[in-house]
Amino acid sequence: MPRQAVIGDILGNKKAKILSVQTSEVEKANPNNKWSIDLKGRIESKFIFTTLKSDVVLSFTAGQYSYVALPVERARKERIG
């Protein structure tokens, strides 16, 4: 099932277990972003990841990382036997 990632800004303490987040102001202002979702709320830190967007990747260097909220969890490895 496809899921949409939301690029966001973390408000307040970035090391808390529950984070206050909102849709990134940079993403809302991006004219190429056709499907921008304006969200604001709280989310568990296990659903926040970092990513590099294509506009900040240059040869042999990278710009600023962005925070992304993904509704996914790591699969648990099951032991057989």
For the chain, the domains span 6-69
SS3 47: helix
**Separation of first and last alpha carbons in the chain:** 31
pLDDT score for 75 = 73
pLDDT score for 57 = 80
Q: At residue 78, what is the residue type?
A: E
Cα–Cα distances (Å) from 31 to 26, 27, 36, in that order, read 10, 9, 10
pLDDT in tens, 16-37: 999 999 988 888 887 877 776 7
* Residue 76 token pair: 């648990």
What is the Cα–Cα distance from 44 to 60, expressed in whole angstroms?
Answer: 33
pLDDT score for 18 = 93
pLDDT in tens, 53-75: 877 787 777 778 888 888 777 77
With 0.75 as the threshold, say if the pTM is over it.
no
